[in-house]
Amino acid sequence: MSHHKNVKFSRKPAIVPGIVVSLAIALSACSSSGSGIGNSSDPITTGSVGQGSLRSTYAARTAWNADQKNLRKGMAYVRQLQALEQNSEQLLVLEQLIKFHPSNTKLLVFYGKRLISNGQSKEAVKILKQAEVRGERDWRLYSALGSALDQTGKHQEARQYYQRALKVNPTEVKIQNNIAMSYTLEGKFSNAEKILRKANNTPKGRALPRIRQNLALVVGLQGRFNEARQIASRDLPKEQVEANMAYLQKMLSRNNTWNKLKKS
């Protein structure tokens, strides 16, 4: 009998953010919304997941427990767990699936990205590099590896992987965003600003509020608050813009500011 039989599902309470300054090296940047990894016939998809249901999750778990080598059933269960924010259980299921499908590089990439989301970036680097060694060359792999390396403080190596991602997909502004945020984490704000301005001047970049908000962040980090306020106000309500600017000014007035910002 599988140890998954006794899992108890519970919804996490909704997190209501306060003043958030987002260093958006976003994991979502590793895949296009709704398109996922592979194609529509591939059981490993990373499109948006709807609201979780305990009943549908139980049904998916029952189906997978009866046939744990079945990748499609396993991924159906994983997506239900993801919708319910059952991260630890989701990782356990993915570990089991990898044991049965060790050569499936897309599964390794998906597992690596879930590890990043769960704050396990060092483990994610190992898994994602396994996928690379086994022949995976998708830009999403390189972008995910860059994200994981940035989160472990290896910014130069991270940017090498972002550049590989750009070689595969040179027009993807989400990769450019990640490169800019990598420079931001390293305190090289002017480098980040140049990249974000370039990305924001493209049709794809203008369609992504994240690009402008990160641009507002790096401009604000250089002390140009009025300019940062104007950029941020294109997408955010005035109250939130003012709260973010006040937060930035408060943080910049303190000692050891950048280390505190990276932890926030």
**Ramachandran angles phi, psi of 83, nearest 5°:** -65, -30
Q: Using an 8 Å Cβ cutoff, are 89 and 7 in contact?
A: yes
Confidence band, pLDDT 50/70/90 cuts, at residue 138: very high
Question: So what's the pLDDT on residue 41?
Answer: 42
The Cα–Cα gap between 47 and 72 comes to 15
Question: So what's the pLDDT on residue 35?
Answer: 29
- Give the chain's domains with CATH numbers: 49-102 (no CATH), 119-170 (no CATH), 176-264 (1.25.40)
Question: So what's the pLDDT on residue 250?
Answer: 86
- Interval 70-79: pLDDT, tens: 999 999 999 9
Token pair 């879930």 is found at 114
Token pair 């994240």 is found at 210
CA torsion 223-225-226-229 (nearest 10°) is 150
Residues 6+ apart with CB under 8 A from 222: 189, 190, 193
Give pTM, 2 decimals: 0.78
- Interval 174-229: pLDDT, tens: 999 999 999 999 999 999 999 999 999 999 999 999 999 999 999 999 999 999 99
Token pair 């987002």 is found at 22
Q: What is the CA radius of gyration of the chain?
A: 20
Q: DSSP H helical segments within 101-188, as ranges?
A: 105-117, 121-133, 139-151, 155-168, 173-185
Q: Using an 8 Å Cβ cutoff, are 107 and 116 in contact?
A: no
Token pair 């690596």 is found at 112
Percent of the chain with pLDDT over 70: 77
The Cα–Cα gap between 24 and 214 comes to 7
The sign of the torsion formed by the CA atoms of 38, 137, 113, 212 equals negative
Token pair 């269960």 is found at 77
Please determine, for residue 14, whether its predicted confidence score (pLDDT) is greater than 50. no
Q: Using an 8 Å Cβ cutoff, are 176 and 195 in contact?
A: yes
The Cα–Cα gap between 43 and 66 comes to 18
Q: Up-side HSE of residue 148: CA atoms within 13 Å toward CB?
A: 28
Q: 3-state DSSP call for residue 223? A: coil
CA torsion 170-173-175-180 (nearest 10°) is 120
The Cα–Cα gap between 171 and 48 comes to 23
**Ramachandran angles phi, psi of 16, nearest 5°:** -95, 110
